[in-house]
Amino acid sequence: MPQELDYSALIAGEAAMVMFGRQMAEAISGGEVIFLNGDLGMGKTTLSRGVLQGFGHQGAVKSPTYTLVEPYELKALTVFHFDLYRLGDPEELEYLGIRDYFTDQSVCLIEWPEKGEGVLPTADLLITITLAQHGRRIDWQAQTEKGRLMADKLKHNVVHS
Ligand SMILES: Nc1ncnc2c1ncn2[C@@H]1O[C@H](COP(=O)(O)OP(=O)(O)OP(=O)(O)O)[C@@H](O)[C@H]1O
Ligand SMILES: [Mg+2]
C-alpha cells in the first residue's frame, strides 16, 4: 500500500470522545481490526463506548480487564472489545481461540494491542490517543486497503460534523 496520510482531531471532553466513537461506527463496514493505542486513562474505553452506541448498544461498557474480551452482539454485527492490559504472554491469545474473532461480520476494538504483538493480526486502522491542552488528540492511520476506506470515511464524518 502507498504511504498513508495520518489524520488527526482534537477532542475536548468525554462527550466529544463518545461522539468520535459514533463517527467511527459510521465509517465501519464490517471485518475491521482496530488498535486503540494510548496510555492509561487516555479514553480508549470511552471511545469504544461511542462505537458500541453507534451500533445501537445502550448499556454500560466496562473494560474487560480480566476476561480480556467482551462480545456485543448487535443488530448489524458483533463487536469484540478487547483489553489486553493484563495479558501476560501473547501466546495466551491462542487459547482464547483468537482467530475465531476476526471475521467479516465482526469488528474488533483492541485496547493495549502491544501486549498481543506477534499473535494479533495486522490492524486495518491504528488509533492513537494522546493528551492535548483541552482534552485529547486522536490520530488515525490506515494499514490496509480496508483501513484506508475507513480512515477516509472517518475523516469525512469528522469534517462534516
Ligand atoms: N477527550 C477527552 N477529554 C477529556 N477527558 C476524557 C476524554 N476522553 C475520555 N476522557 C476521560 O478519561 C478518563 C479515562 O477514560 P477511559 O477509561 O476511557 O481510558 P482508557 O484509555 O480506557 O484507560 P485504561 O488504559 O485504563 O483502560 C475518563 O474519566 C474519561 O471521562
Ligand atoms: Mg480502558
Domains and CATH numbers, the chain: 7-159 (3.40.50.300)
List phi, psi (to 5°) of 149: -60, -45
pLDDT at 98: 87
Q: Residue 142: its pLDDT value, please?
A: 97
Residue 13 has pLDDT above 60, yes or no: yes
Using a 6 Å cutoff on CB, does residue 46 contact ligand 1? Answer: yes
**96: pLDDT confidence band, cut at 50, 70 and 90?**
confident
Q: Which three cell numbers stand for residue 133?
A: 491542552
**Mean pLDDT in the chain?**
95
Write the DSSP symbol of residue 72.
E
For residue 41, give the ligand nearest its CA: 1
HSE value, Cβ hemisphere, 13 Å, CA-based, for 54: 21
Q: Separation of 99 CA from ligand 2 center, angstroms?
A: 22
Q: Decide whether any atom of ligand 1 lies within 6 Å of the 135 Cβ.
A: yes
